[in-house]
């Protein structure tokens, strides 16, 4: 550690450190409650949050979250020790009794620097747990006594700025990806689920499309095995549009944190490899375990592991992808302790298939969304790798800010 650095107990760097309280849950209104599921991958997600009734159980002021609070999961094997800093707060919120609030004291430390420093020690914080399997707890006293490397004040601000720049860009890419995903999903739903252009023409309304495109849609419906569908369209199955294959186990030593190709398992990317089972566009379908029914994709080739199946579109890849993302695979699951979806069941997934000219129009539009989304994902992966390389070196003083700035400038140029 650099000579100017010192270790300080976390408690000395905080104005508040304590767990939340058990909520009085309600479906709507009240105050947002973040739980352990909301702290994952070193970021805070509000999607899994619930709500508590302030009238039935008051949340004291100190337990109301503030910007730059650090959240630490404090119970349970597999969740305890996960850390994230609150960099956005869309509405008043608190945490439940399984999460500890660590509130940086700006008079003692740069708040964002402390967030990065605590994130660096997730595994060490996890090791502070006490208790038996399934009942592990992280006490306030043990967390508060944890030593944190403290850089000089000016260095703290510079480190926070450098790492924050990378985090902010990663978050911007994530939001952009979500927007692009919503655009592709909305277009698919409008054309192939709600049949908006066909319905508008059938009712004598303007479908709101350029005339050459509107002319590709019929103006009436007909009955089918899936109910009412546009006249002249067909009911097909997934295996008519794509080839489906089981995945292949990748040797453990070949799965790395960096590599030319993503390695897809049931839960998405589990690492990277220097070789691939498939080139070009491929869909990975999670077929076993808690994540069976999940759908992942790439345009640039991948290794599909044996907990997933590869789906290789024969044509119209964006249509096949969006149809799978829209499908409800719950009814295909077999087994209870270990859910499983056989490839034969996946192959029989029913689809409403429009004429090729309509498919081509959809794919042309959706491809622009998906290629931008993939660019954002790839850039974020590279930025994450750079951040994770710089983080321990900057916090320890091994790498100084002036040297780190050059790496960040090159990565974000």
pLDDT of residue 133: 63
Percent of the chain with pLDDT over 90: 84
Give the tens place of pLDDT for each residue, 230-245: 999 999 999 999 999 9
Angle, CA 87 vertex, CA 186 and CA 138 arms, to 5°: 110
Chain segment 20-52, per-residue pLDDT in tens: 999 999 999 999 999 999 999 899 999 999 999
CA angle 157, 161, 166 (to 5 degrees): 155
Listing DSSP states for 110-121 in one string gives -HHHHHHHHHHT
Average pLDDT, the chain: 93
| CA-to-CA dists, residue 130 to 97, 135, 178, 359, angstroms | 16, 8, 38, 57
Residue 166's Cβ-side half-sphere holds a number of Cα atoms within 13 Å equal to 26
Model pLDDT, residue 360:
97
Q: How confident is the model at residue 337 (pLDDT cuts 50, 70, 90)?
A: confident
Q: What is the DSSP letter of 215?
A: T
Smallest Cα–Cα separation from 248: which of 232, 231, 261, 234? 261
N-terminal to C-terminal alpha carbon distance within the chain: 30
Burial class (CB in 10 A: 0-12, 13-18, 19+), 2: middle
Confidence grade of residue 400 (pLDDT, cut at 50, 70, 90): confident
Q: With a cut of 80, say whether residue 134 has pLDDT above it.
A: no
Q: Quick one: tokens of 242?
A: 């794509």
Q: What is the pLDDT of residue 409?
A: 76
Binned at pLDDT 50, 70 and 90, residue 407 comes out as confident
**Mean pLDDT, rounded, for 327-344:** 89
At 341 the pLDDT is 94
116-130 average pLDDT score: 94
Calculated CA dihedral for residues 28, 31, 36, 42, nearest 10 degrees: 110
Q: 228, 186, 233, 193: which is closest to 327 by C-alpha?
A: 193
For the stretch 340-370, pLDDT in tens is 999 999 999 999 999 999 999 999 999 999 9
Q: With bands split at pLDDT 50, 70 and 90, how would you rate the model's confidence at 403?
A: confident
β-bridge mates for residue 71, sequence order? 84, 101
Find the mean pLDDT for residues 383-401.
91
d(CA 314, CA 316): 7
Is 80 exceeded by the pLDDT of residue 135? no
Q: How far apart are CA 307 and CA 50, in angstroms?
A: 32
Residue 273 has pLDDT above 60, yes or no: yes
The half-sphere exposure of 384 on its side-chain side, counting CA atoms within 13 A, is: 16
Query: What are the backbone angles phi and psi of residue 368, rounded to the nearest 5°?
Result: -65, -40
Give the integer Cα–Cα distance in Å for 95 and 19.
Answer: 8
* pLDDT tens, position by position, 369-379: 999 999 999 99
Instruction: Give 75-101 pLDDT, tens digit per residue.
Output: 988 889 999 999 999 999 999 999 999
Residue with tokens 């009911």: 235
Residue 343 contacts residue 287 (beta carbons within 8 Å): yes
Distance between CA atoms of 372 and 287, rounded to whole angstroms?
27
Which pLDDT belongs to residue 76? Answer: 84
Mean local confidence (pLDDT), 142-147: 96
| pLDDT at residue 413 in the model | 66
Q: What is the mean pLDDT of residues 122-144?
A: 89
What gap in Å lies between CA 61 and CA 358, rounded to an integer?
57
Q: Which domains are assigned to the chain?
A: 8-149 (3.90.220.20), 176-358 (3.90.220.20)
Backbone angles phi, psi at 344, to 5 degrees: -65, -35
């Amino acid at each position: 550690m650099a000579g100017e650095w010192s270790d300080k107990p976390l408690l000395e760097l905080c104005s508040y450190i304590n767990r939340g309280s058990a909520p009085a849950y309600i479906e709507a209104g009240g105050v947002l409650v973040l739980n352990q599921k909301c702290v994952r991958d070193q970021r805070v997600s509000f999607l899994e949050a619930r709500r508590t009734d302030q009238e039935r159980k008051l949340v004291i002021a100190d337990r109301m979250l503030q910007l730059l609070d650090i959240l630490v999961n404090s119970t349970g094997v597999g969740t305890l020790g996960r850390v994230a800093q609150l960099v956005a707060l869309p509405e008043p919120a608190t945490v439940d009794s399984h999460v500890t609030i660590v509130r940086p004291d700006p008079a003692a430390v740069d708040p964002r620097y402390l967030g990065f420093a605590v994130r660096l020690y997730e595994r060490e914080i996890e090791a502070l747990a006490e208790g038996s399997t399934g009942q592990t707890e992280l006490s306030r006293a043990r967390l508060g006594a944890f030593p944190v490397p403290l850089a000089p004040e000016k260095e703290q601000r510079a480190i926070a700025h450098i790492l924050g720049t990378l985090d902010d860009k990663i978050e911007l890419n994530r939001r952009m990806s979500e927007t692009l995903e919503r655009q592709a999903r909305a277009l698919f739903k409008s054309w192939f689920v709600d049949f908006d252009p066909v319905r508008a023409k059938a009712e004598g309304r303007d479908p709101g499309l350029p005339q050459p495109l509107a002319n590709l849609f019929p103006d009436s419906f007909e009955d089918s095995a899936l109910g009412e569908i546009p006249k002249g369209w067909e009911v097909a199955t997934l295996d008519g549009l794509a080839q489906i294959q089981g995945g292949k186990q990748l040797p453990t030593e070949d799965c790395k944190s960096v590599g030319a190709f993503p390695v897809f398992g049931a839960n998405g990317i589990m690492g990277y490899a220097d070789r691939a089972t498939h080139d070009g566009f491929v869909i990975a379908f999670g077929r076993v375990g808690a994540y069976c029914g999940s759908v992942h994709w790439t345009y640039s080739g991948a290794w599909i592991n044996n907990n997933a199946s590869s789906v290789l579109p024969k044509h119209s890849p964006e249509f096949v992808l969006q149809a799978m993302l829209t499908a409800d695979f719950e009814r295909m699951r077999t087994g209870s302790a270990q859910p499983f979806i056989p490839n034969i069941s996946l192959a029989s997934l029913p689809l409403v298939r429009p004429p090729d000219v309509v498919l081509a129009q959809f794919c042309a539009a959706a491809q622009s969304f998906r290629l931008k989304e993939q660019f954002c994902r790839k850039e974020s992966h590279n930025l994450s790798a750079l951040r994770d390389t710089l983080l321990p070196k900057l916090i320890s003083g091994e790498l100084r800010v002036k040297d780190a700035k050059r790496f960040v400038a090159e990565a974000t140029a």
